Amino acid sequence: MLFVASYCAPSTKKGQLWMHTILIFGFMLYSIWAWHVICSPDAFSWNFGFVFLNLAQVVYLVYEMRPVKFDPELEEVYHTLFEPFRVSRLQFKRMVSPDFAHIMSLHAGEAYALQNLTKTDRLGLLLSGKVNVMSGHQFLHPILPCEFLDSPEFESSRATIDEKFKVSIVAASSCRYVYWQRSSLEYLFVKEPYLACVVTTLIARDITTKLYAMNNKIVTERGSHLDIRLPSISHALARSPRRLRSASKPPPPTTVQPVPPEKRPNCWSREADSLINTIKRNGMTTPTYGGGDEELMPLAAHEAPAASSDDLSIADSCPDTSSKYHSCEAVETDDELRH
């Protein structure tokens, strides 16, 4: 009965612990039976040996299932970044161990990296506090806890070891961060390929977040933000904002105007009369223009209104339609401008 109960356990960690624990009691009963009932030293030795084997398995499983705890700051990093990707606590513990990572502190005003001085040979992750990114004396964007300090520089300098920061990273308040040297991190990634894939994904997401944070600071003259996914259209919008005509505005000047009846040629009168008779036979009402009996006549070339400078500037600002980023909206606007 004990053997049946043990072998019915599932294949999970807890199931294995249950199986080996019940097997200890089962082989213990076999050992007692072999010693006191049949008095067989070889059967007793065999079953008692399995008692020790299962006891060793239980100790190993309990050690593997022990709770792995971190500092509150590292615990927050694990829950925010790594736990959604199903990184085990043992993997994360190895990643932040002193063999690979170093935890440092910064006071307000201290620099993590200086522009054109610090090499991009490490990867930092902010644990607490706030850090500002500066270009010269210009503020670019902040860095908050659970965000990488230098993900763009770390990713862009894979091929060289002499690359330097193009920005300065300065602590805005007292903060703590953990950093990894590039060589140590690459050595860890060779042994933990899944962890390497997760960290690469986190770095890419952090870079994208920083790019959109910078993009929100760029505004056109109309107050709209540029879309970094459409570079050709964004460049045209930044150079000369397009002014689309709304339905409430009057239409552009037409190239035709009414002609009084006394100035109409006879051939035009005959054609107009025949057209009106056809409309009446079909049961339709005859259109009137301006409330009188008038007809439209094309203007001469010298009488056509000239295009305004605003229309020309709008036409110049339209992007090249051969670009792969050219949108359907821009094509429709170009057609309107040509009409």
Burial class of residue 113, CB neighbours in 10 A (0-12, 13-18, 19+):
buried
Burial class of 268 by CB neighbour count within 10 A (0 to 12, 13 to 18, 19+): middle
Phi and psi for 84 in degrees, rounded to 5?
-60, -25
* Whole-number Å distance between alpha carbons of 157 and 165: 10
Per-residue pLDDT reduced to its tens digit, 241-272: 444 344 445 555 544 455 555 555 554 455 55
Which of 304, 305, 308, 306 shows the shortest CA–CA distance to 243?
308
Please state, for a pLDDT cut of 70, what percent of the chain lies above it.
Answer: 63
CA 73 – CA 172 distance, rounded (Å):
18
Cross-strand partners of 142 = 132
Count of Cβ atoms closer than 10 Å to residue 202 Cβ: 18
Question: What is the pLDDT of the chain when averaged over all its residues?
Answer: 74
What is the pLDDT averaged over residues 5-20? 87
Query: How confident is the model over 269-326, as pLDDT tens digits?
Result: 555 555 456 555 555 554 444 444 444 444 444 444 444 444 444 344 444 444 333 3
Summarize pLDDT for 151-202 with one digit per residue, the tens: 888 888 877 777 888 889 999 999 999 999 998 999 999 999 999 999 999 9
> Residue 55 above 80 pLDDT?
yes
Q: How far is CA 67 from CA 77, 93, 94, in A?
A: 17, 12, 14
Q: What share of the chain has pLDDT > 90, as a percent?
A: 29
Which amino acid would we find at residue 264?
A: R
Distance of CA 260 to the CA centre of its chain: 66
pTM, full prediction: 0.55
Task: Judge contact between 146 and 81, C-beta under 8 A.
Answer: yes
pLDDT at site 326: 39
For residue 142, the SS3 value is: strand
How many angstroms separate the CA atoms of 125 and 147, rounded?
6
Lowest mean pLDDT among 33-47, 209-223, 276-290: 276-290
Q: CA-to-CA distance for 269 and 258, rounded, in angstroms?
A: 14
* Positions of E strands within the chain: 101-106, 111-113, 122-128, 131-135, 138-143, 168-171, 175-181, 256-259, 295-298
